[in-house]
């Protein structure tokens, strides 16, 4: 068979296209990250651009910059407005999420994808697809339980595609976000057990926006009851050690209400 002569990564992609080809219509849970972007690209290749839509959650959990980036990616791929579906994710109706227990991500994913499925019924026979990759399956991710319970297909993981392979494929297809730093929702910045409030998320977003404007891409601002920790990529940590840079960051945080809070600096793990 010809497929036996393909490089492993191409064989996995062929397997992905074959799996996607069994659907007539598909809806990809789209974040703008490289995983969901590659899945969206592959689904369009497998069953046609008119038969695939991108479903996005509009929520306080998603930063404005990330949401705009997702919009830009859809524009870049020439996705028609009729193939885009934005759904408000009112997660603050879910008490189990607000209390921020270890099962927070489970309740969030279950609520969000249930909402997606409900709204997709109005569109006809669309199968909702999730961009989980094979590396994700090696980690403890409560959200995966919700995906499994709702019987949401995870074609990238099923094709055994790792994060690195997904980035390689995305680059080969000219997807500009192939090297985009992985991100997570703003709620992950709040220590477990600390109540999640919209005001806290907005504060974290403002601080991270400032840091990114300073060139610290991929930064995190984490909070607990006693302190704030600024995390940056390893390559940026030396610049963070410069007194003038730290002075400006601390000054900004003080203006944002950190006067009685310790501020720490660390490398993002």
> Domain holding 57: CATH number?
3.40.50.620
Q: With respect to residue 190, please indicate whether it lies within any of the assigned structural domains.
A: no
Average pLDDT over residues 149-162: 98
What are 223-236's pLDDT values in tens digits?
998 899 999 999 99
CB 33 within 8 A of CB 182: yes
Indicate if 19 and 82 belong to the same structural domain.
Answer: yes
Measured CA to CA in angstroms, residue 39 lies from 3, 17, 45, 54 at distances of 21, 10, 10, 10
pLDDT per residue over 65-107, tens digit each? 999 999 999 999 999 999 999 999 889 989 999 999 999 999 9
**Residues in a beta bridge with 230:** 221, 265
**Segment holding 54, helix H or strand E:** strand 52-58
Same domain, 243 and 167: no
> Residue range 54-73: average pLDDT?
96
Q: 117-146 pLDDT, tens per residue? A: 999 998 888 999 999 999 999 988 889 999
Q: Are 223 and 194 in contact (CB under 8 A)?
A: yes
- Do 146 and 70 belong to one domain? yes
In the predicted model, is pLDDT for residue 1 greater than 80? no
- What gap in Å lies between CA 204 and CA 178, rounded to an integer? 26
pLDDT at 140: 81
179 belongs to a structural domain: no
Are 44 and 94 contained in the same domain? yes
Give me the pLDDT at residue 4, please.
60
Other beta carbons less than 10 A from residue 208's beta carbon = 21
Q: Answer yes or no: is pLDDT of 2 > 60.
A: no
Map tokens 């026979």 to a residue: 125
129, part of any domain = yes
Which has more pLDDT, 5 or 161? 161
Retrieve residue 28's tokens.
């990809």
Q: How far apart are CA 77 and CA 175, in angstroms?
A: 8
In-domain check, residue 187: no
Range of the domain at 251: 197-267
Query: Is 7 within a domain?
Result: yes
Can you give the pTM of this predicted structure? 0.94
Could you read off the pLDDT of 230-257 as tens digits, one per residue? 999 999 999 999 999 999 999 999 999 8
Residues 32 and 98 in one domain: yes
Residue 90 within any structural domain of the chain:
yes
Q: pLDDT for 3-40, tens place per residue?
A: 567 789 999 999 999 999 999 999 999 999 999 999 99
- Assigned domain for 146 exists: yes
Name, in order, each residue with C-beta under 8 angstroms of 60's C-beta and a sequence gap of 6 or more: 91, 92, 186, 198, 201, 202
Question: Same domain, yes or no, for 8 and 105?
Answer: yes
pLDDT averaged over the chain? Answer: 94
Co-location of 72 and 167 in the same domain: yes
Q: How far is CA 231 from the centre of its chain?
A: 18
In this prediction, residue 88 carries a pLDDT of 94
155 within 8 A of 19, measured Cβ to Cβ:
yes
If asked whether residues 165 and 218 sit together in one domain, one would say no
Range 230-236, long-range pairs (CB < 8 A, 24+ positions): 230/263, 230/264, 230/265, 230/266, 231/265, 231/266, 231/267, 231/268, 231/269, 232/265, 232/266, 232/267, 232/268, 233/181, 233/267, 233/268, 234/267, 234/268
Where residue 218 sits, what CATH number does that domain have? 3.30.70
Does 156 share its domain with 212?
A: no
- On whether residue 185 sits in a domain, the answer given is no
**Are 115 and 36 part of one and the same domain?**
yes
E strand map for 59-164: 84-88, 127-129
The answer on 235 and 127 residing in a single domain is: no
What is the mean pLDDT of the segment spanning 144-150?
96
Q: How many domains does the chain have?
A: 2
Span 166-179, mean pLDDT?
A: 98
Domain match, 154 and 257 both: no
């Amino acid at each position: 068979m010809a497929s036996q002569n393909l490089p492993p990564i191409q064989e996995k992609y062929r397997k992905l296209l074959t799996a996607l080809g069994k659907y007539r219509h598909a809806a990809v849970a789209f974040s703008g990250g490289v995983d969901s972007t590659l899945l969206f690209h592959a689904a369009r290749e497998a069953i046609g651009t008119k038969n695939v839509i991108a479903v996005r959650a509009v929520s306080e959990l998603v930063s404005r910059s990330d949401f705009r980036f997702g919009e830009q990616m859809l524009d870049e791929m020439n996705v028609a407005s009729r193939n885009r579906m934005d759904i408000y994710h009112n997660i603050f109706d879910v008490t189990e999420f607000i209390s921020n227990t270890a099962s927070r991500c489970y309740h969030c994913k279950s609520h969000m994808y249930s909402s997606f499925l409900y709204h997709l019924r109005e569109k006809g026979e669309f199968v909702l697809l999730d961009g989980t990759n094979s590396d994700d399956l090696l980690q403890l991710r409560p959200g995966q339980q919700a995906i499994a319970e709702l019987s949401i297909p995870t074609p990238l993981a099923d094709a055994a595609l790792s994060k690195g392979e997904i980035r390689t494929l995305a680059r080969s297809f000219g997807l500009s976000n192939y090297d985009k730093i992985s991100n997570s929702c703003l709620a992950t910045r709040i220590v477990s057990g600390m109540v999640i409030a919209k005001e806290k998320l907005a504060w974290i977003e403002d601080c991270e926006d400032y840091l990114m404007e300073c060139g610290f891409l991929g930064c995190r601002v984490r909070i607990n009851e006693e302190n704030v920790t600024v995390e940056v990529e390893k390559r940026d940590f030396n610049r963070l050690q410069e007194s003038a840079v730290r002075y400006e960051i601390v000054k900004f945080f003080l203006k944002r209400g950190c006067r009685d809070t310790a501020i720490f600096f660390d490398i993002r793990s």
